Structure 1
Amino acid sequence: MAISFNGLGSGLAVSDIVDALVNAEKAPFTSRLNTKEATLTTDISAAGALKSALEKLQTSMEALGEVDNYQKRSVSGNDDFISLTSNKDAQPGSYNVKVDALAQAHKLSSAAFAADEAIGGGVITIGSGENSFSTVLSPTNTLEDLRDQINNGPFTGSDSNDSVVATIVTSDAGQHLVLTSKETGEDNAITITVQDSDGNNTDGGGLSRLAYDVSDADPANHITNVTEVNAAQNAQITIDGTLTVTSNTNEFTNVIDGVDITAKKIHSDDDDQSNLTVKENNSNIKAGLNSFIESYNELLTLSNNLGKSGESGAGVMAGDSMLRGVMSKLRQQLTNEVGLSDGSALSLSQLGVEADRYGKLTLDSERLDEKIESNVDLVQEFFLGENDDDGFAQSFDELMSFYTDSDGVVQNRIDSKQNQLNSIDDERIDFARKMESLESRLYAQYNSMDLLVAQLNSTSSYVQAQLENMPGVVRQSK
């Protein structure tokens, strides 16, 4: 900005004059940009609110477009003895379940050894289930050494221990090696075979004191140099008093189609048997439609507020073609019928979705229940289509995506208005530079004028002084 010494020559308030002229230039421009900015901001906000409402409506229909949500089964009968889960393969029905036995891990315990006693050299091989591993002991190894090798190795070859846990239990008699299978059930029973350094693998001396193998069908061939604490045991349940089922674990998967049973406690003779009941569960349809209706009515209210016009005032999107277009497409979509595989057709209104004279939706639950009860497969086909991907839900999602996608109609509108809004900032910067230039130019002009006036005043004073000093000039009395 140019430096101004206001009034040195002319006495004029140069700064005030320049400020007034510059402000006169600024006022209409600033007013126009402020109005434009407010309009764009309002439009962006309105379009954003519309997009959010459309996205919520689109999301509310997604649950009705998932095949896994249909024709579920609910199972009841969880109690102290069993717990239950089910899937859509379960068929409606009732069953009695009795828990006869729970699965048990195999546990073996050796005889007592002194803490520093050498247990004998050789190779010991332990098996449980499909896992088998071997480890080598020297003649000086103790029971604790064997425990550590069982749990951590080293093992021979590529063997690994995935099936047995070894611990030491110390009694008054001494240390006992306790082996417990990691998995329950008869298939995971533990066997211990020995290659004793003394050449006898089954006697009561050396490493063979730990041998245990009852896998042979002939009891005469059983080797039991360690004590069985807990037998390897399968879980067992009886269904409807006649059907017996066993499992290595306490879980019985798909014994009844689509139903998994977990045994928790054995029924005694005095206990009532557990009652298992499977029922159809189609609640997702009503829940989905209620969510859809709620979202649609919220959108309708927003649309009415944005697009209203009349004596009470106009909405920010009154007369807007995009708003009119999306609501018109939606109303048309809601009335569309979907052709079904049996030759019939179905629409939302036939499922109980009704609109009042203002367009607000409600659900006639009785009509919906009747449709579901009469043929739930056709109701499912209406939403999903014959191929689970071409029903009402899919076509509705495609319509919504046209407006709600990142490159959809509404977002393009928002992006366009945002670009215009961003350009206003550039206009303000350019105009500010222009006003600085104008201000500098005005100050230069007024300062030049002020200097000229000062020079003229100086010349006038000089001439006046010379005239007064000339002979014959009569001075006026002051």
Structure 2
Amino acid sequence: MPDLTFTGIGSGLQVSEIVSAIVGAETAPYVSRSNKQQAEITTDISAVGALKSALENLTESITDLADADNFQLRSAKGSDSFVNLSASKDAQIGNYSVKVDALAQSHKLSSGAFAADETISDGIGMVTIEVGSNSFSTMLSPTNTLEDLRNQINDGPLVGSDKNDSVIATIITGDDGQHLVLTSKETGLSNAIKVTVQDGDGNDTDNVGLSRLAYDVSDPDPLNHIKNLSEVTKALDAQITIDGTLVVTNGTNEFKDVIDGVDITVTKQHDVDDDNSKINVSENNSNIKPGLEKFVESYNELQKLSKQLGVAGESGNGPLAGDSLLRGVMGKLRQELSNSFDTGNGNTLSLSEIGLQSDRYGVLSLDTEKLNELIDSDISGVQQLFVGTDSTDGFASSIKELTSFYTDADGLIQTRIDSRTAQLDRLDDDRVAFGRRMESLEARLYSQYNAMDLIVANLTATGSYITAQLDNMPGVVRKTK
């Protein structure tokens, strides 16, 4: 497009204004039509996208009710703070008593006092620590101190490929000096600490030099025990007594499935005069009501959106007014809500029978009293209503299958969005092509008007020449007004 605006020299016409007017007359209706198409397509994409999102929310809201593992759960409750409880679906309903006889403890050992700068080994020595199945060693030189040993136990270097997975070394400084403290990371008798040394003086148990750190009570004969370290805390298993007769021990304070499906974590030991802890295992279906309420909320949001999208009337139409996609999905959902579902043995159950109601505007509500009554009287039927049987789908499965037909990557809604997006791409391409056509038209008009202007200029010049020649002819008298 030329950058200059000019008047025809020969003709005196406003060429730029004329060309702009002609091009504008061609452009204006196209731009209006193109913008309208873009707005319609974009609105449609937004509308069906909102519908897809609402359907996905509906699917998510019903997911928990589609899983049989979320029905007929178990709840384990204790009478006091001596035990913490959890129960799986496998737990059997019943009552039990538990006495905590002992809590599991980690093993802790402490050395005698060392001066801060005292060397602990008479020559080259080695310390080996065993805790359960974990065993590791570290070498010491004649210059190493207690702090060096602590660092090597915790961070290495260690001899061989074994690593320290089992013990923590710390130093406690008292008035008498530094004490090395070893604590097993895990509780229980199986995690008792054993320390053997190879002392530079050749005697590994004499409580002199590196031997001061030796501790080994693994021999059945107490006379062979080596106790050069002091035992601060014994390694102990936890022990409980169930129903006054059944004794159970464990290396940790957690007892899993000692009672079928019930995990018991002991937190403190019963004194002699304490009452035993009472455990009650009962059926727990408290998650069904909030699951249904979540579905009701999502469905009502979808219902509200569908009315906004499909409204038709004097005040204006929604973007999906009369649209078969919207009518289809909402009609199928309403049909699912009114269906009865097989619950086995020739029985059926509907949503209305468990308290799900729809008013004349299509808004759902939940009668919780009716729901709770049916849960108490027929929890298996309620479960099969949502989950289904071996041969039939339940309500939750049917809803998920229905919505996926619309919301999947190859579903109806995404297919429509893809088609509309392709229309936008084609519209962009058409705009580029139209712009080029208008540039070509503008250039052609300027060329034509310039050619016309040149002709007019030539004619004007010729007329002026003829007039001048006639004026100079003898006897010619110009009549003046």
Q: TM-score, normalised by structure 1?
A: 0.86
Match of 1:340 in 2: 343
- In structure 2, the CA distance between the partners of 1:118 and 1:124, relative to structure 1 (3 Å rule), is closer
- In structure 2, the CA distance between the partners of 1:4 and 1:163, relative to structure 1 (3 Å rule), is closer
- Alignment of 1:401 onto 2:390: no
- In structure 2, the CA distance between the partners of 1:22 and 1:132, relative to structure 1 (3 Å rule), is closer
The separation in 2 between residues aligned to 1:358 and 1:147, in whole angstroms, is: 76
Query: Of 430, 433, 453, which residue of structure 1 is paired with 2:456?
Result: 453
Provide the secondary structure at the position in 1 that maps to 2:63.
helix
Deviation at 1:195, TM superposition (A): 6.7
Tell me, yes or no, if the aligned pair for 2:10 and 2:454 is still in contact at 8 Å. Answer: yes
Match of 1:350 in 2: 353
Show CA shifts across 1:382-424 (max 9, x none): 3223359943322321211110112211111112122112222
- In structure 2, the CA distance between the partners of 1:19 and 1:121, relative to structure 1 (3 Å rule), is closer
Match of 1:59 in 2: 60
What letter corresponds to residue 435 of structure 1 in structure 2? M
Query: Of 365, 368, 377, which residue of structure 2 is paired with 1:374?
Result: 377
Deviation at 1:202, TM superposition (A): 5.5
- Alignment of 1:326 onto 2:345: no
Deviation at 1:367, TM superposition (A): 2.5
Paired residues, number: 478
Tell me, yes or no, if the aligned pair for 2:342 and 2:389 is still in contact at 8 Å. Answer: no
Q: Which runs of 5+ in 2 are unaligned?
A: none
The separation in 1 between residues aligned to 2:84 and 2:307, in whole angstroms, is: 52
Match of 1:26 in 2: 27
Tell me, yes or no, if the aligned pair for 2:105 and 2:234 is still in contact at 8 Å. Answer: yes
Match of 2:69 in 1: 68
Match of 1:50 in 2: 51
Tell me, yes or no, if the aligned pair for 2:6 and 2:14 is still in contact at 8 Å. Answer: no
Show CA shifts across 1:144-188 (max 9, x none): 666566555666655544333444555555555443322222222
Tell me, yes or no, if the aligned pair for 2:120 and 2:142 is still in contact at 8 Å. Answer: no
- In structure 2, the CA distance between the partners of 1:40 and 1:161, relative to structure 1 (3 Å rule), is closer
What letter corresponds to residue 62 of structure 2 in structure 1? M
The separation in 2 between residues aligned to 1:412 and 1:10, in whole angstroms, is: 59
Match of 1:259 in 2: 262
- Alignment of 1:301 onto 2:304: yes
- In structure 2, the CA distance between the partners of 1:99 and 1:388, relative to structure 1 (3 Å rule), is farther
The separation in 2 between residues aligned to 1:293 and 1:464, in whole angstroms, is: 97
Tell me, yes or no, if the aligned pair for 1:7 and 1:14 is still in contact at 8 Å. Answer: yes
- Alignment of 1:418 onto 2:421: yes
Tell me, yes or no, if the aligned pair for 1:252 and 1:260 is still in contact at 8 Å. Answer: yes
Query: Of 315, 318, 328, which residue of structure 2 is paired with 1:315?
Result: 318
Tell me, yes or no, if the aligned pair for 1:67 and 1:388 is still in contact at 8 Å. Answer: no
Provide the secondary structure at the position in 1 that maps to 2:378.
helix
Which deviates the most, 45-54 or 305-314? 305-314
The separation in 2 between residues aligned to 1:440 and 1:137, in whole angstroms, is: 94
Tell me, yes or no, if the aligned pair for 1:65 and 1:393 is still in contact at 8 Å. Answer: yes
Match of 1:40 in 2: 41
Deviation at 1:52, TM superposition (A): 1.4
The separation in 2 between residues aligned to 1:161 and 1:433, in whole angstroms, is: 76
Provide the secondary structure at the position in 1 that maps to 2:182.
strand
Provide the secondary structure at the position in 1 that maps to 2:362.
coil
Match of 2:283 in 1: 280
The separation in 1 between residues aligned to 2:370 and 2:111, in whole angstroms, is: 72
Tell me, yes or no, if the aligned pair for 1:119 and 1:141 is still in contact at 8 Å. Answer: no
5 Å-filtered alignment, 1:375-394, equals 375-387=378-390, 390-394=393-397
Tell me, yes or no, if the aligned pair for 1:354 and 1:362 is still in contact at 8 Å. Answer: yes
What letter corresponds to residue 25 of structure 2 in structure 1? A
Match of 2:233 in 1: 230
Show CA shifts across 1:98-131 (max 9, x none): 4332222223334456624646877665433233
- Cα RMSD (Å) of the superposition? 3.3
Which deviates the most, 462-471 or 187-196? 187-196
The separation in 2 between residues aligned to 1:253 and 1:214, in whole angstroms, is: 30
- In structure 2, the CA distance between the partners of 1:474 and 1:60, relative to structure 1 (3 Å rule), is same
Deviation at 1:95, TM superposition (A): 3.8
What letter corresponds to residue 408 of structure 1 in structure 2? G
What letter corresponds to residue 328 of structure 1 in structure 2? G
What letter corresponds to residue 72 of structure 1 in structure 2? L
Tell me, yes or no, if the aligned pair for 2:387 and 2:396 is still in contact at 8 Å. Answer: yes
Match of 1:464 in 2: 467
What letter corresponds to residue 53 of structure 1 in structure 2? A
- In structure 2, the CA distance between the partners of 1:119 and 1:147, relative to structure 1 (3 Å rule), is farther
Tell me, yes or no, if the aligned pair for 1:4 and 1:447 is still in contact at 8 Å. Answer: no
What letter corresponds to residue 414 of structure 1 in structure 2? I
Q: TM-score, normalised by structure 2?
A: 0.86
The separation in 2 between residues aligned to 1:255 and 1:146, in whole angstroms, is: 42
